[in-house]
């Protein structure tokens, strides 16, 4: 039976490490200042989020979201033993695209040197749920024989669009830059618990304004109506969040999605090697593990040192722990995600 398998994976994070101590002194170009810019502290951030540090790209305009993705994709292709020319589909999850349009997948395609028409390109905008939404798409494409070598990537560049002031601290301290990628392809397998076993995604638009970024509103002319340099006017260019509502809904939906994945597949925790939740907040992940009765030794986190990399968190976390020797080929993962929209879902797959 034709099934989808993970052929290879890769990830990348920038060299620059920004600690909780340093972020309080950054200006809007994330340059360190002599004077404190944000009323926060390492204790305040760790107590609320579990984050100790995150990674940022340079602020010189040298890197876009597709550049970060490219650095994760190259090792993923090498790991899979797949050439760039064999890729016939790119699915790119991000909320921080290079530009408004066209999508970032075509920029990645060009940087890979495979532009010309043989490779389809999809951009998906499910934010923190983007990677699992993309996995469901890829699984459907492969099972139906539409594509043979799919590059699924989550990539984010958050550091250029955060409000590094006390006004924006609840959001600014959360996010980091990074990317993760899977190469997916078909295999004839008799084992129904091999490869991509299960995907299930959902959305509830009533929570769309609990976590959002306006930048502009296409419904109103002019669609950019504020002075981006005027702090009294420029709030729309930064992400906004109702933190308590997001926390409650994230715990609820990820726990539900986890239970549903096990119920729908007839699996138990003895069948699962690792639980990989979206890395939004360590306190959320700890609560999900408690509510869903997940064995704590099976939970993988990386938010402590990468922060929230949105669409990249699931592949980045898996590849991080694979590089550390903890996750191995043949391990079975259950992943649950939750993002703005609201969007959420779960997947079970073998590495």
For the annotated catalytic residues, the residue numbers are 128, 278, 308
Q: Quote the tokens at residue 151.
A: 């590059």
Q: Specify the DSSP class assigned to residue 144.
A: T
Q: Find where tokens 């996995």 sit.
A: 135
CA–chain centroid gap for 333, Å, is: 16
- The residue among 168, 181, 192 whose CA lies nearest residue 316 is 181
Q: Quote the tokens at residue 239.
A: 């992400």
Q: Find where tokens 């597709």 sit.
A: 66
Q: Count the neighbouring beta carbons within 10 Å of the beta carbon of residue 296.
A: 9
Q: Count the neighbouring beta carbons within 10 Å of the beta carbon of residue 283.
A: 15
CA-to-CA distance for 69 and 30, rounded, in angstroms?
A: 21
CA-to-CA distance for 50 and 286, rounded, in angstroms?
A: 10
């Amino acid at each position: 039976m034709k099934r989808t398998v993970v052929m290879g994976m890769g990830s990348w994070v920038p060299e620059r490490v920004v600690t909780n101590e340093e972020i309080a002194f950054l200006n809007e170009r994330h340059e360190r200042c002599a004077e404190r810019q944000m009323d926060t502290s390492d204790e305040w951030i760790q107590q609320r989020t579990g984050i100790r540090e995150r990674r940022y790209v340079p602020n010189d305009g040298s890197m876009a979201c597709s550049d970060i993705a490219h650095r994760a994709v190259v090792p993923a292709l090498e790991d899979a033993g797949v050439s760039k020319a064999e890729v016939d589909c790119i699915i790119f999850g991000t909320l921080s695209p290079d530009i408004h349009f066209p999508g970032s997948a075509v920029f990645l395609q060009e940087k890979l040197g495979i532009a010309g028409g043989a490779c389809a390109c999809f951009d998906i905008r499910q934010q923190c749920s983007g990677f699992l939404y993309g996995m469901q798409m890829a699984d459907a494409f492969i099972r139906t024989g539409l594509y043979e070598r799919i590059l699924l990537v989550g990539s984010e560049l958050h550091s250029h669009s955060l409000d590094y002031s006390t006004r924006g601290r609840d959001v600014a301290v959360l996010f980091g830059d990074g990317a993760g990628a899977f190469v997916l392809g078909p295999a004839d397998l008799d084992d129904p618990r091999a490869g991509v076993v299960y995907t299930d995604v959902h959305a509830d638009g009533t929570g769309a304004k609990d976590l959002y970024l306006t930048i502009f509103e296409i419904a109103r002319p002019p669609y950019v109506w504020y002075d981006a340099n005027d702090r009294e006017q420029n709030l729309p260019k930064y992400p906004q969040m109702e933190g308590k509502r997001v926390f409650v809904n994230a715990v609820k939906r990820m726990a539900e999605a986890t239970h549903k994945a096990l119920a729908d597949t007839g699996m138990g925790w003895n069948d699962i090697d690792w639980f990989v939740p979206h890395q939004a907040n360590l306190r959320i992940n700890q609560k999900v593990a408690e509510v869903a009765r997940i064995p704590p030794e099976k939970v993988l986190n990386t938010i402590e040192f990468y922060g929230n990399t949105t669409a990249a968190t699931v592949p980045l976390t898996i590849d991080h722990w694979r590089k550390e020797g903890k996750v191995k080929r043949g391990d079975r993962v259950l992943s649950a995600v939750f993002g703005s929209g609201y969007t959420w879902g779960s997947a079970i797959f073998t590495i």
